[in-house]
Structure 1
C-alpha cells in the first residue's frame, strides 16, 4: 500500500522488540552504534534474554547494522535510545542528540520521525528545531511501554499512544499504517507534549507508589510489626491500592522523575513531591544493608549467600541495581560473601563474580534474597528454607 522502509534507532529493551515486530511486516533496518550489540544479535543472541534464538531470525530481507549509510533509503525513523541522567541528576540528552544527528544526515523531505524514548514535555519540538529545521519532515511521539521480564504485556497487545503534529492526511495515514502493525490498540493524541507528559508521569507514579510501600515496610520493622500481615489486612478495603515493596533500580524509574523535575524547575516551579519516591527508594538500599549486617553479627554468620542481583525480578540486567550495590558493600566486610542469580546475563555474572548455579545451599550460614525471581520460589521451596536464622527475605519471596 505504501512504500515504507522503517528504521529503528537503538536496539535495547525498547528498540529490539519494536524492530522484531516491524520486521514481520516490512523490510526494516535495525541500527545501533554498539558494534558488540549488533554482532550478538546477528549471531541470534539477546544478552538481555528477552528473546530466544528463534525470535531473532529476520524476515523480509531486514538488516541489523551499525553502519550509518544503511539508513539512507529509510523514510520512517523510530528513535528508541536511552535517556539517562548525569551524576548531578540533570537529563543527559547525548544519546537522543546523537540519534537525531545521524538521522539528519540521511533524511529526505516528507520523511517521518517518531521518538519513543522517555523525555520531558516539549523536547520533541526542541529536537525538531535543532536538527531538522532545514527539512520538511514530520515528527511525532509514541511513548514506549516496554516492561522487561513481562511476557503478558507485550508490544503487540498493550495500548499504544501515538501523537503527532498537524499534518496532511497522507502522512497521518502512513503513521497509523505503521503503528497499527506494531500494536493492536492505538490511542491518537493531537498533542505531542501531552503524550510526553503522560509517559513521564506513568513512571513517576509507580516510583512513588513503591516508595510508599518501602517506607511502610521500614516503619513496620521499627515497630516490630509484620508487614505482610499489615498489608493483608489493609487489602480488605475495596479501594486500597496494593503495591509491593522492593529495590528500585534500572534505567527508568530512578531516572525519569528528574526529567520532569528539571523542566518544571526551569519553568519556575519547585516540585515538592515528585522526587519523594527517589529519596525513600534509595534509602531502602542502606536500610537493607544494615538489616543484613545486624543479622550477621547477631547469628555470628561466616558464610553468606546473596540471591538476586539484577535490578528487578525476572530481568537479566544489573544496570543501576541497588542489589549489586549491597553486594559490593558486603564484600568489603570480613564475611565470606557469594552471590547467586540464575537470571542475570552471563556478562554481568562474569564481571561481578555471580554464580548461575548453586548445588548445595546448606553450606551457607545465611541466605539473603534481594530480588523476587520466579525461579527462586521453586529452588527455595525445594530446599525447605524456612529457618529465620538461616534465611532472610524481607520481600516474602516464598509467598
Structure 2
C-alpha cells in the first residue's frame, strides 16, 4: 500500500479513522477547527473516542492548513451530515469539505467519502463541487469512492478496525485500490459493493432498520402502558424465542439513527415515492420525549404532588450512554416540555462537557453534590456511573417521589415503599 492518506474532519468518525491508519502509515489529519487541532497535537481527544495513549503512538500530522492536503493522494472525507429544522438533509459541511479538497486536489488522487448520505449524493452532489474547484475531470484526472462509516460513539468493542468495511469505487480499478488501502488496517476485512450507490444505500438503511424496529418497541410500550403491563417483562418473555429481535423502547437521538432515515426519505420523495413505514417510525420516535414528559405529570398527580413548581433531577443529557456526544439528543426535549408545565429542572451528566451543554442548550449542568432531593428523579441516560451506583442515586428522589426510568435499568426492589416507578 503506497498511498499517502489524509483524513478531512477529525470528529467522532474521522479521528478513529485517522488514528487507526496512523498506527501503520503516515497520515495527514485535517480539521477546520483550530482549537481541535491544538488539543490533538497535545494528545487530548475531547470526544473520548481515542485514549491519550493511542494518540501518543500514532503517526498523524495534525493541521488546519488545507495546503497540507496536497501531499496526499488518498483523501478520506468524514464530516457530519446533519438535518435542518425541517428534517431535510443538510449537506453544507459535506459541500464545504468538497470545496476545500477540490482547491488542493492533485491528479490521480482518490477521494473517498465516509459521511452518511442518500444514494447518489457522492456522484451527483459532491463530484461537481470537486470538479468546479479543482478544474479537473472526475474519472479522468481524479477518482472517487465511498466507504460508509460504521463508528459507534462510546463503543470500545466494535471499533473501526474490527467492523467489516463496505467499500466502493468509481471503476473496478479504483475499487481495488480503495479495498487495498482499507484492508491494510481493517482486520475484519472489506466487502466490495458493486457501485457507489449500493454502498450509500447500504449505509443509510442500516440505521433506518434500527429506527423502525425501535419505533415498533416504542409503540408497543405506549400500548402496554395503557394496558398496565410492564414492557420489560413482556420483552423478557418474548426474548425466549430464538429469532425474536432484541430491540427496546427509548429515545432515538444522536447523529445516526435519528438522522439517517430522513436522508433516505428525502431521496425517496424526490423520485416519487412516499415512504410510509419509515416516516411513521420517525413520527413515533420523535414524539417519545413528549410522551415521557406527559407521563411525568400523570405520575406526579397520582402521587398527590403539586405539578406547578415540582422539582426534577435529570440524570443524563447525552444522546446515548457512556458517551459525551450531545448532538441531536432528545433528552433536551423532555426538559423543555417539563419546564413548560412549570416544573423546576436540574440536570447532571457525568459524561457531557459543561461548556458544550451551555453553548448548545443554555443549560448549566450540576455536579452530583449540587443536586438536592427532588419530587422526580428522571434516569434519562444509563451511564455506567449511574447504573453502578443506582441505589445512591435513588436517594436523589424524595420518599414519596416519582422515578422515571426510560431505559428500564432500575430494579423494582430498589425502589422505596412510597416512591412510584414508571418506565417505558
Output the TM-score relative to the length of structure 2.
0.87
The DSSP-based 3-state class of the residue aligned with 2:276 is coil
Contact 1:18 1:182 in 2 (8 A): no
Q: Deviations over 1:127-167 (max 9, x none)?
A: 22442352511211111101111111011111111111224
Contact 1:165 1:190 in 2 (8 A): no
Indicate whether 1:49 and 2:53 are aligned.
no
Partner in structure 2 of residue 195 of structure 1: 199
Q: How does 1:67-82 map to 2 (within 5 A)?
A: 67-82=65-80
Distance change (3 Å), C-alpha of 1:336 and 1:272:
closer
2:161 aligned to 127, 146, 156, which one?
A: 156
Contact 1:214 1:245 in 2 (8 A): yes
Indicate whether 1:95 and 2:93 are aligned.
yes
Indicate whether 1:354 and 2:362 are aligned.
no
Distance change (3 Å), C-alpha of 1:287 and 1:130:
same
The DSSP-based 3-state class of the residue aligned with 2:283 is helix
Partner in structure 1 of residue 333 of structure 2: 325
Contact 2:24 2:185 in 1 (8 A): no
Further displaced range: 233-242 or 148-157: 233-242
Indicate whether 1:392 and 2:401 are aligned.
no
Partner in structure 2 of residue 378 of structure 1: 388
Shift in Å at residue 359 of structure 1?
6.9
Contact 1:24 1:59 in 2 (8 A): yes
Partner in structure 2 of residue 27 of structure 1: 26
The DSSP-based 3-state class of the residue aligned with 2:336 is helix
Shift in Å at residue 63 of structure 1?
1.3
Further displaced range: 43-52 or 385-394: 385-394
Distance change (3 Å), C-alpha of 1:215 and 1:96:
same
Partner in structure 1 of residue 5 of structure 2: 6
Q: How does 1:1-399 map to 2 (within 5 A)?
A: 2=2, 4-57=3-56, 59-60=58-59, 62-126=60-124, 127-132=126-131, 134=137, 136-168=141-173, 171-184=174-187, 185-299=189-303, 300=305, 302-351=310-359, 352-358=363-369, 363-382=373-392, 389-398=401-410
Shift in Å at residue 58 of structure 1?
5.5
**How far apart in 2 are the matches of 1:134 and 1:164?**
16
Q: Deviations over 1:246-290 (max 9, x none)?
A: 111111122211111111111122222111221000111100011
Further displaced range: 18-27 or 323-332: 323-332
**How far apart in 2 are the matches of 1:182 and 1:248?**
32
**How far apart in 1 are the matches of 2:261 and 2:95?**
20
**How far apart in 1 are the matches of 2:289 and 2:221?**
13
**How far apart in 1 are the matches of 2:262 and 2:147?**
20
Contact 1:49 1:345 in 2 (8 A): no
Output the TM-score relative to the length of structure 1.
0.92
Contact 1:304 1:367 in 2 (8 A): yes
The DSSP-based 3-state class of the residue aligned with 2:274 is coil
Distance change (3 Å), C-alpha of 1:319 and 1:173:
closer
**How far apart in 1 are the matches of 2:367 and 2:167?**
41
**How far apart in 2 are the matches of 1:320 and 1:98?**
21
**How far apart in 2 are the matches of 1:237 and 1:22?**
42
Shift in Å at residue 86 of structure 1?
2.2
Count residues in correspondence. 394
Further displaced range: 201-210 or 245-254: 245-254
Shift in Å at residue 349 of structure 1?
4.6
**How far apart in 1 are the matches of 2:393 and 2:205?**
42
Contact 1:142 1:162 in 2 (8 A): yes
**How far apart in 2 are the matches of 1:131 and 1:378?**
50
The DSSP-based 3-state class of the residue aligned with 2:286 is helix
Gaps of 5+ in 1: none
